[in-house]
Amino acid sequence: MASASERREELKAVFHEASSCVRCPQLAAGRTTVVFGSGNADADLMFVGEAPGANEDKQGVPFVGQAGKLLDTLLGEIGLTRGDVFVCNVLKCRPPGNRDPLPQEIDNCQDYLFRQLELIEPKVVCTLGNFATKLLRGDPTGITRLHGRVEERLIGPRRVRLYPIYHPAAALYTPAMAEILRADFRRLPELLALPVLDQPEPIVEPEVVPDPEPVIDEPDLVYDEQLGLF
């Protein structure tokens, strides 16, 4: 089992790999930075949003601006800071004009999210808003029905308590929604106090047995009468 510092180093390697990723040509051409995610590499709580916006793209950090400030405030109210949690998005690059991510782009980027989950080892994953919730649950049920309901889910390599909540940006201008978000946040300490869920057995890659050296048939030696040699 890898130590926290080994997992942190591996996460940094994934970050470096993602920072020059061009799997989605349109996104790679239009972005300023890859917004990999930030926070504690050994966090028990991970937030997953949709994709970077304009400010995030410029600064390379997820959830900056007003929505980020609200996230910080809500974290502070339950005694946490950004340094205690890890915050990222499903998609690591900003779609042009903030359009919805395309299925192919989600597919391309999924491996980064799965590796983040595998290396950070969170106990609780909060999906922020409709998009991330639908995607990580693999189900079209919307956030209005699901927010504040915890369920156990296998996401990629990691079994976690999935806890969908409203996106802070949606709560910015709707006080009623902000109160629901606040109430859902208040349950987080109780969820974080629960034991870690049993994890699936790691997939052991079969040992690669090298092909045996090909046996090259030596050509029969032919007596060369002229030279007198075999």
Smallest gap, in angstroms, from Cβ of residue 142 to ligand SF4?
Answer: 24
In 3D, which of 122, 137, 126 has the Cα closest to residue 186? 126
Please, which residue, 43 or 88, has the CB nearer to ligand SF4?
88
Smallest gap, in angstroms, from Cβ of residue 88 to ligand SF4?
Answer: 11
Q: Binding residues for ligand SF4, per CB under 6 A?
A: 18, 21-24, 27-28, 34, 91-93, 105, 108-109, 112
Please answer whether residues 167 and 127 qualify as being in contact, where contact means their C-beta atoms are separated by less than 8 angstroms.
no
Please, which residue, 13 or 22, has the CB nearer to ligand SF4?
22
Chain position carrying tokens 């649950």 = 137
What does 36-84 look like in DSSP terms, one character per residue?
--EE-TT-SEEEEES---HHHHHHT-SS-HHHHHHHHHHHHHTT--GGG
Q: Count of CB atoms within 10 A of residue 25's CB?
A: 8
Smallest gap, in angstroms, from Cβ of residue 162 to ligand SF4?
Answer: 22
Smallest gap, in angstroms, from Cβ of residue 137 to ligand SF4?
Answer: 20
Please, which residue, 2 or 28, has the CB nearer to ligand SF4?
28
What distance in Å separates the CA atoms of residue 2 and residue 59, rounded to the nearest whole number? 31
Please, which residue, 109 or 171, has the CB nearer to ligand SF4?
109
